[in-house]
Amino acid sequence: GAGVSQSPRYKVAKRGQDVALRCDPISGHVSLFWYQQALGQGPEFLTYFQNEAQLDKSGLPSDRFFAERPEGSVSTLKIQRTQQEDSAVYLCASSSSGLSNQPQHFGDGTRLSIL
């Protein structure tokens, strides 16, 4: 498809397990973003890549969260030693250029539930 693709759509993990969430941005899009959305809230920024460079990771809530985009295309968000408060929808977005005020186009997210 032409949009941002995220997998898996749903992930259930036990507390303490590690999880990996994948994002395929729109082909050719330079910028890639990760957001976390709690129920009934707006998305909260986690991190930003321009090509393979992670330019901003100020929104990552702890050092258990790690993101990478090694070839400037697909990105993975990894959460180590998951905790219940990590339960949320994780959204990925991409935009066509490195300019800051371009629209970001979102995928449908991964719903993560930590038991």
Which residues in this chain contact another protein in the complex, by CB under 8 A? 4, 31, 33, 35, 40-45, 48, 55-56, 58-59, 91, 93, 100-101, 103-109
64 vs 111, which CB is nearer to another protein? 111
Nearer to another protein, 82 or 95 (CB): 95
Q: Shortest approach of another protein to residue 25 CB, angstroms? A: 13
Name the 3-class secondary structure at 18. Answer: coil
DSSP state, residue 86? G
- What letter would DSSP give residue 110? E
Distance CA 13, CA 71 (A): 28
Give the shortest CB-107-to-another protein separation in angstroms: 5
Nearer to another protein by Cβ, of 34 and 82: the residue is 34
Q: For residue 44, give Cα distances in angstroms to 35, 79, 104, 115.
A: 5, 16, 14, 22
